[in-house]
Amino acid sequence: MNDPNIASNPEQLNAACQKLAAVQAEVDALYTRWSELESKATE
C-alpha cells in the first residue's frame, strides 16, 4: 500500500486494503486458536 502506483490507483488501493483486512482477520483467528490450545495444554 506504500507503493505510489497502488496508492495513486483507488481500485488497487481498495483491493489491497481488502486483502490486508482479510489476512489480518485470519491472523487474529489463528492467534485466538493458539491461545485456546495453549490454555488447554496448561490445564
What mean pLDDT comes out for the span 21-43?
Answer: 95
Q: With cut-offs at 50, 70 and 90, classify the pLDDT of residue 30.
A: very high
Average pLDDT over residues 24-31: 98
Whole-prediction pTM: 0.77
What domain count does the chain have? Answer: 1
User: Can you give the residue range of the structural domain that contains 14?
Assistant: 4-41
Looking at the predicted structure, is the pLDDT value of residue 42 above 90?
Answer: no
Given a cut of 90, is residue 35 above it in pLDDT? yes
Cell of 20: 490486508
* Rounded distance between C-alpha atoms, residue 24 and residue 43, angstroms: 29
pLDDT at residue number 1:
79
